[in-house]
Amino acid sequence: MSRQTSQREDRDGQGNGDPIKLMLEDKTLMDKCVADGIVVESAKDEYNLLQTKSKLSLDSHPAVVFNFKLGEKEMKKNREKFHELLQVIKLCKGDKSEEMNEFNSLMPSYHMWQSKSLIQSQLKKSEGEPVKRRPGRVKRNTSKRYSMTVRVSGQVHDTPTTKDFPREWLSLSKETEENKKLKKENEMLQVQVNELTTRLSKIASDKLTDGNPNFADLSDRNRPTKIGEKFGMVYDEEWSEAYDEIKNLHRDQTDEGVYEILLNIVMVGMKFCQEVAKSQISSIESGMSEPMLRPQWLCDGKEYSVEEMVADPRFKTTLKKFAKDFRRGASTSSISPLCTIFKDAKLKEILDWDVYKMDSLNLYIDACIECLWLMCVQDPPMHITWLTKGAKYDPAHFNMFMTKGKDVEYTVWPAVFLYKDGPLVTKGYVRLK
């Protein structure tokens, strides 16, 4: 390692360890202190005295290094004047700065060194001058007195008293403790406010959204607008692939016949999901009400219960709300079994094909049942509609499919509404003539 690198590292290490020194060397900060009437040079001397304590042993005398008078009175004055350095730190860096931490760490060590210096000077004085004693008195054991003095002195400066610090320091300490207490109380109150605000917001949200489709939970990935978007993607993707597969495997089918098959799957699927939703909500309500109206207690292999109580209107209202919320929150768990039931049983009413051997049509049916089921579990349920042959074209709710005209020839894809007779979510497609 080069000499320049070593010297630079020494300077960096010294700077990082002496934050007060760096602060006192900052001319801009010191000019600010001078403008406020603080004696900066005195503060620098006080810091030098504080810093020197760690470099001096008990036998060293600081007067050799600094021009300070270290008699008992002078030491007391130095101790009381450290508030000037404290004022500089508070003005420039603040109460919680690194400089303040260094100052607080230096003061106790200075007091300890000061005590030892006083003891040393007293011992030297007692050795150089004869001690005047009254006749008949026994000479005291100097070593014992020295030991006791060190013990008492250490106790005094390890636990500073009001004589050791200016009143400004003591009031600052009390103020800091009071601030900590108030901060803790403020944090506890803030937690309570947040909790009450959350509970109030939840209650207001429940009352606002319960049975009201105009207010949707934006965190719900299966809210009506998202279901409408997903249903539109089924028409753009799965519908087209299923159409191509049917045309390739069943060449006797006309375009109109394929359109009718794909639409019938949607219409029959919607009726199927509505029937399942109606029976399912009844089962959920029954399962939730029985444990509440007919509680049981099992003890030593015996079951204790009473006849099921009659529910009051408030209980029924609460039960319906929680049943609907539970069913809507867990609705995706029913999609896979419903797809299987529909293809194995309900689909036979319109098709006699083995749809499990037709990959694209199989995926199309699953996608339709998923969207239709999510529509049926909304509160209130979403609604789909289509136009029959000969009906007037409704451009507000349907787009034209391939041709232009005024009268409907057949519907290709249904329109989706937020609820029956409600606002439109996504448009459908009709063929005109």
3-state DSSP assignment of residue 90: helix
Cα torsion angle, 399, 403, 404, 408, sign = negative
* pLDDT score for 15: 43
Pairing of strands 408-413, 297-299: unpaired
- What six digits make up the tokens of 151? 């013990």
423: which DSSP letter?
A: -
* pLDDT score for 339: 96
* pLDDT score for 169: 54
Q: Name the residue with tokens 């060293």.
A: 60
Domains in the chain: boundaries = 3-127+144-165, 224-381
CA dist list (Å): 65 to 49, 68, 69, 154? 10, 9, 12, 25
Q: Which amino acid is at 261?
A: I
- DSSP H stretches of helix in 71-131: 72-81, 83-92, 98-128
Residues paired with residue 417 on neighbouring β-strands, in sequence order: 383, 424
Entry pTM: 0.52
pLDDT in tens, the chain (433 residues): 444 444 444 444 444 457 878 888 887 778 777 766 666 777 777 777 776 655 544 444 444 333 444 455 565 566 556 667 777 887 787 877 888 887 777 777 666 666 656 555 555 555 544 444 444 444 444 444 333 333 333 344 444 454 555 555 555 555 677 888 888 888 888 888 887 777 676 565 555 555 556 555 566 788 899 999 999 999 999 999 999 999 999 989 999 999 999 999 999 999 999 999 999 999 999 899 888 888 889 998 898 888 877 878 888 888 899 999 999 989 999 999 999 999 999 999 899 999 999 999 999 999 999 999 999 999 899 999 999 998 999 999 999 998 888 889 999 999 999 999 999 999 999 999 8
